[in-house]
């Protein structure tokens, strides 16, 4: 199979499929710690992670806790802040969109590190050099390289990273992006680039519904309606455990939660906020 030149090589990151195996992290380390290339110097063995795995716990109550894991390399931004902060062309964007820090011109320019809004650039103290992910451009440019993807994509066992030509609407990566919700990481809310994050979780509201307390029985199939400040409605039902959850709500908003079940009085909670992932508690129904 012959390698073909992509107009815009890119990676789509499916956060929902990341299980924090750290295979991408280790593959990146293995590739970039070993040698210098014309596009970068060797990464220090400790303290840097050009492919970072951001993990956090979600939920404010032990009854309903989830975790999120988001692989986060350099986004190879369309309008990179690091390039604006650099002097003498020390950071440049290639015609294919990959952003490169020149390993010679960037020496001493620590302001390049500080300019990155997602903290994906690191300072090599020994070399006095800012460094980051190159999307393995040195390998992709090599006609003798037997692979067809960056190392991180090759290594992921769960297909959380998908590589392809973003300029080709018929490529698998373009179709994947079209079929999912694009969710830039914090700090890049309006920025586009060659790395596209999909379905990073936002906020959830959740709770549990039960019959009158003395029955000690959860309510299955109760109707739950959540309404935001502008009247937008989100609906769900309680599951086999009496639990309900509505995901990907906008942050820092107030919601009204309404719970209904035939034969029981409706329940309403007002002012439930999404400043965090929030569990509203157990709702015990009363007979109508």
Q: How is the chain split into domains, by residue range?
A: 9-198, 203-284
Q: Does domain 203-284 have CATH number 3.20.20.140?
A: no
Fold of 9-198: Alpha-Beta Plaits (3.30.70)
| Same fold: 9-198 with 203-284 | no
Cα(82)–Cα(92) distance, rounded to whole angstroms?
9
Task: Retrieve residue 246's tokens.
Answer: 């509505």
Q: In sequence order, what are the residues at sequence separation of 6 or more whose Cβ sits closer than 8 angstroms to the Cβ of residue 62?
A: none
Task: Retrieve residue 159's tokens.
Answer: 């297909």
One pLDDT digit (tens) per residue for the chain, 288 residues: 446 678 999 999 999 999 999 999 999 999 999 889 889 999 998 888 999 999 999 999 999 999 999 999 999 999 999 999 999 999 999 999 999 999 999 999 999 999 999 999 999 999 999 999 999 999 999 988 887 899 999 999 999 999 999 999 999 999 999 999 999 998 887 778 999 999 999 999 999 999 999 999 999 999 999 999 999 999 999 999 999 999 999 999 999 999 999 999 999 999 999 999 999 999 999 999
- Cα of first residue to Cα of last residue in the chain, in angstroms, is 70
Q: To which H or E segment does residue 225 belong?
A: strand 223-227
Task: Retrieve residue 240's tokens.
Answer: 């086999």
| Exposed / middle / buried, residue 228 (Cβ in 10 Å: 0-12, 13-18, 19+) | middle
pLDDT of residue 9: 96
pLDDT of residue 1: 40
Q: Where does the chain have alpha helices with state H?
A: 23-32, 81-85, 111-115, 137-140, 151-155, 172-179
């Amino acid at each position: 199979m012959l390698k073909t030149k992509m107009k815009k090589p890119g990676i789509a990151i499916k956060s929902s499929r990341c299980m924090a195996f750290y295979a991408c992290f280790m593959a990146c380390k293995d590739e970039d710690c070993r040698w210098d290339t014309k596009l970068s110097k060797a990464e220090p063995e400790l303290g840097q992670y050009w492919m970072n795995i951001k993990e956090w716990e979600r939920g404010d109550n032990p009854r309903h806790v989830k975790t999120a894991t988001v692989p986060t390399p350099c986004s190879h931004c369309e309008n990179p802040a690091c390039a604006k902060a650099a002097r003498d062309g020390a950071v440049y964007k290639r015609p294919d969109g990959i952003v490169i820090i020149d390993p010679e011109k960037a020496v001493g320019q620590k302001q390049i590190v500080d300019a990155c809004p997602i903290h994906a650039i690191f300072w090599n103290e020994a070399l006095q050099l800012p460094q980051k992910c190159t999307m393995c451009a040195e390998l992709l440019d090599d006609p003798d390289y037997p692979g067809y993807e960056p190392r991180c994509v090759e290594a992921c066992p769960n297909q959380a990273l998908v590589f392809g030509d973003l300029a080709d609407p018929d490529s698998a990566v373009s179709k994947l992006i079209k079929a999912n919700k694009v969710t830039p990481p914090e700090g890049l809310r309006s920025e586009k680039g060659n790395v596209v994050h999909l379905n990073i979780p936002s906020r959830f509201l959740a709770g549990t519904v039960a019959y009158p307390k003395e029955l000690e029985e959860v309510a299955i199939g109760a109707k739950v309606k959540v309404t935001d400040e502008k009247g937008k409605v989100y609906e769900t039902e309680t599951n086999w455990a009496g639990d309900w959850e509505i995901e990907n709500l906008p942050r820092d908003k107030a919601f009204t939660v309404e719970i209904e079940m035939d034969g029981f009085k409706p329940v309403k909670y007002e002012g439930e906020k999404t400043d965090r992932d929030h569990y509203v508690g157990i709702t015990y129904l009363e007979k109508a």
